[in-house]
Amino acid sequence: MQPLSPAQNRGPTPEHFNFHPYLSGKLLSETQSCQSRMNKLIFPTGDKCDSEGNWIPPNSFPDPRPPLKNPWSPFDDEVAFRLAGLLFKKTEMSQPNIDELLDLWAHDVQKRFGGTGGPFGTHQDLLGTIDAIKHGSAPWQYTTPTATEWQKTSYQVWYCDPDTVISNILANPDFADQFDPAPYVHIDAQGQRHWSNFFSGNYAFRHATTIYEDPEAGGEKVRGAMYCPIILGSDKTTVSVATGHVEYHLLYLSVGNLHNVAHCGHRNGVIPIGFLAIPKSDRKYDADPKFRIFKKRLYHSSIAAILRSLKPAMTTPVVRLCPDGHFRWVIYDLGAFIADYPEQVLLAGVVQGWCCRYVSTHPNLISPLMDTLFDVYGSESGLLWDNFSIDDGVVPFTHEFPRADIHEMLTPDLLHQIIKGSFKDMLVEWVVEYLELTYGKERANEIMDRISLAPSFPGLHRFPHGRRFKQWTGDDSKALMKVFLSAVVDYIPESMALCLSSFQDFCVLVRRNDFTTNTIAEVQQAIHSFHQHRQIFLATDTRMKLDISQMLLTNQRLDKLTALHSDLADKGLMPPLHSAPPVDPFEAEREDEGVQDGEHLLAKVELAKKRVSNVPRYLEDLAEHLDEPDLPDLTRRFLYEQLLGTPADGIDIDQCPGITSKVNIYHSAVATFFAPSDNSGLQGMHWERIRSTPSWYGHPRRDTVAVVMDESLPGFRGMSAARIRLFFSFIYDDIVYPCALVHWFNTFSRTRDSRTGLWVVRPSYLDGHQLCPHLAVIHLDSILRGIHLMPVYGSNAIPPGLKYYNTLDIFKSYYVNRLADYHANEILF
């Protein structure tokens, strides 16, 4: 078993499609031809102009940004800037203490140097300087919506001017390579359509066409303008103010011109622009229809008031600076509103339980028809509600803006609507009910023990007590989905396992950064399989009926894939606002992953920066110290293969070169790889730490990895699983060899497990008694990334006393968990 050597595997470029057909990194294969076709059709194409709006040649270079006389402006110097950050952000010092510190500083400066004072005079001076910073968010202001007052109470809605916010986003040079000035259609060399960023979808292309074909505001008035769709989202997490009488929840804004990776790159591509008031009243009014109508009207009037400054530029283009340094005429448009189902009902003004995009038996319920229905039947109380499922007491905020149709804009929230609403609250509960009905509560509770044994993995929230805790976060629900199927598969019928597997496939497929027609076919197949196998819950008397009002909304996503990339729903537009819990051994995996800005490549693995001290530095002594007697011979055979390019199996050890240099050992390595579907940097890069240490929070931790064996084979067929026993490096002929001592795992079958869709692997041994593990030394370049293994538990009860840090040592076989993250799902097929 020989992994690829560095000479064979130098790291594929973004154009390399063989190993990762979905992660090429090549954004467009025919960008120019698509753009030229659109230019011929004279749609809004985002042509360049100067700051006065005069058109300039398309190959013109942008004017250089004026150099700053003082890069620390509005602060006097670096000291003032760093002091402001220390006092206001890091230590959060009180205003009286700031004044006292500044007085002492000024007194010392006057006494020692005869100066006039320190960086700031008072805390007001400090805060005023911070407020003068031109970068970052627009200033906050407030308005009072025009909704009828309830019991003489008025509500302030705090917001940032969205026009200023959008101008700041478009002018951000960080997005120079991550934005589109015009909609396009991406067709690859094989003739497949691709949907990735917002502008590659039908929605952007269709609305740009509508704008140009407008008989009053289109045509020559908008030719060459840049279409700028506005994406909104609302987070239901409330923010209490003062006594808690008034609460707010946040409204977020971004623009569709940015690429997906820019939305999750933590560079101000997604901005909170408003706090929507949540009115409170006496309990006796909770069921009052008038009060409920008031709350809905306040919600819509608040959003309309916040967005009002954008309305003029929705029909008349305005000049804006863009990330590439060029100016363009820009025309705004309401593009999408990301919300979970309860908020979709509020936004669309429909009856709870009905589809908010296409209302059941009335699929043509779009903006023109809505206007007609309100004009004809709006005065007859209850008629629209009873016959068309429309709330006639509320007019959506979109009616104030041109081309805006809330039913077209609504985009499901994958986390709250599908993962939490359908998976955790329905499927998981149904499975638990089945287990209790079939085996009793005691046996059903064993599932909790299995969940708690999930091995550590970067970014994976663990469940030390199974799923027994009161308050679930979005991260908890996503983490449960990653480990639940492996824990229950041996206790449930095959059809129930296939139902869970199909649902999970759907959830990870629709989160991919890049879609093709094949991807959509896979999504359709997952939905078909889910609907087919969910009947098992009726057949086993787990449910008398299937309450799937939220579940059926999954069908909407197929339509949305071609009009609006659903990836934005979980790409940072809805960041959780709850406080992060303190780091403990069960949460420490969160430290081991993150976004990565920098070079764009497919994958690389590097040793940690700091080597381990107080260990022997020569190979034989190190082997004795670590109780790895085969380490010297395995390392010499590895070096033989590196130098000659031929396998060392069967070669006499005396023919292998000796290693006399000092050896450095490390407790971890960092894998960096192209994973735009996960939280990533502006180049789509993500990093995670692979650990092999004798003590991680008091216990050994030896992570598992995917080793590239044959790039010509797709997915996991071209890989092997291995567990890291040691990271080390040595020097031979002035060349540094970063290595890993690994324990191989054998793939159990040539195909994936039929129930779970996961590969099954087993630890490899050289003897029948499993006393002699199959070890090897491999080059770090042959490691693709870390992988998560879940035990094949079997149908027997878990013995008491087992701990998660022993999981990889005690089971006979393991599932290769391609649900660990979205990148794993794309490569471990």
Percentage of the chain lying above the pLDDT 90 cut: 39
Only one residue has tokens 């395995």, namely 634
pLDDT 10s digits, 516-550: 889 999 999 999 999 999 889 888 877 655 544 33
pLDDT 10s digits, 628-647: 999 999 999 999 999 999 99
Mean pLDDT value of segment 24-44 = 35
Radius of gyration of the chain (CA): 30
CA 601-606-609 angle, 5° bins: 130
Mean pLDDT value of segment 62-75 = 78
Q: Say which residue, 287 or 394, is predicted with more confidence.
A: 394
**Can you give the pLDDT at residue 597?**
53
Q: What token pair was written down for 778?
A: 């491999």
**Can you give the pLDDT at residue 674?**
86
- pLDDT category, 153, cuts 50, 70, 90? low
Helix (H) or strand (E) holding 327: strand 327-339
Contact 180, 259 (CB under 8 A): yes
pLDDT 10s digits, 807-820: 999 999 999 999 99
Mean pLDDT value of segment 37-52 = 63
Mean pLDDT value of segment 454-462 = 85
Q: Where are the alpha helices (DSSP H) in 404-452?
A: 406-409, 429-439, 441-452
Amino acid code (one letter) for 259: H
Question: Does position 230 have pLDDT exceeding 50, yes or no?
Answer: yes
pTM of the model: 0.76
**Can you give the pLDDT at residue 559?**
35
Q: Cis link prior to 575 (omega < 30° from 0)? A: no
Q: What token pair was written down for 428?
A: 């998981």
In sequence order, which residues have a C-beta less than 8 Å from that of residue 117 and are 6 or more positions away? 102, 105, 106, 109, 110
Distance CA 474, CA 360 (A): 29
Q: Say which residue, 196 or 726, is predicted with more confidence.
A: 726
- pLDDT category, 9, cuts 50, 70, 90? very low
**Can you give the pLDDT at residue 388?**
61
Distance CA 437, CA 460 (A): 31
Distance CA 154, CA 158 (A): 13
Average pLDDT, whole number, for the chain? 80
pLDDT 10s digits, 377-417: 555 656 666 566 667 678 899 999 999 988 889 887 777 67
Only one residue has tokens 């911070």, namely 130
**Can you give the pLDDT at residue 755?**
93
Give the range among 231-235, 264-268, 787-791 with minimum mean pLDDT.
264-268
- pLDDT category, 237, cuts 50, 70, 90? low
Mean pLDDT value of segment 63-72 = 76
Q: Say which residue, 387 or 124, is predicted with more confidence.
A: 124
Mean pLDDT value of segment 161-188 = 90
**Can you give the pLDDT at residue 474?**
66
Q: Say which residue, 765 or 556, is predicted with more confidence.
A: 765
**Can you give the pLDDT at residue 573?**
36
Question: Does position 569 have pLDDT exceeding 60, yes or no?
Answer: no
Give the range among 92-101, 259-268, 784-793 with minimum mean pLDDT.
259-268
Q: Which of 115-119, 277-281, 572-576 has maximum average pLDDT?
A: 115-119
Q: Say which residue, 355 or 101, is predicted with more confidence.
A: 101
Contact 300, 343 (CB under 8 A): no
pLDDT 10s digits, 325-352: 999 999 999 999 998 888 888 888 877 7
Question: Does position 76 have pLDDT exceeding 80, yes or no?
Answer: yes
278: phi then psi, degrees, rounded to nearest 5 = -115, 100
Mean pLDDT value of segment 476-488 = 88
**Can you give the pLDDT at residue 574?**
31
**Can you give the pLDDT at residue 763?**
97
CA–CA distances in Å: residue 252 to residues 336, 546, 563? 11, 34, 21
- pLDDT category, 361, cuts 50, 70, 90? very low
pLDDT 10s digits, 685-723: 889 999 999 999 899 999 999 999 999 999 999 999 999
- pLDDT category, 32, cuts 50, 70, 90? very low
Question: How do beta strands 704-708 and 719-732 pair?
Answer: antiparallel
Task: Say how many C-beta atoms besides its own lie within 10 A of residue 230's C-beta.
Answer: 23
Mean pLDDT value of segment 422-451 = 87
Give the range among 68-72, 312-316, 386-390, 604-608 with minimum mean pLDDT.
386-390
Q: Say which residue, 5 or 752, is predicted with more confidence.
A: 752
Question: Does position 498 have pLDDT exceeding 80, yes or no?
Answer: yes
- pLDDT category, 357, cuts 50, 70, 90? low
Q: What token pair was written down for 655?
A: 């023919």
pLDDT 10s digits, 189-205: 888 888 888 988 888 88
Question: Does position 571 have pLDDT exceeding 80, yes or no?
Answer: no
Q: Where are the alpha helices (DSSP H) in 366-405?
A: 367-377, 383-388
| Sign of the four-CA dihedral 202, 557, 314, 330 | negative
Question: Does position 72 have pLDDT exceeding 60, yes or no?
Answer: yes
Question: Does position 795 have pLDDT exceeding 70, yes or no?
Answer: yes
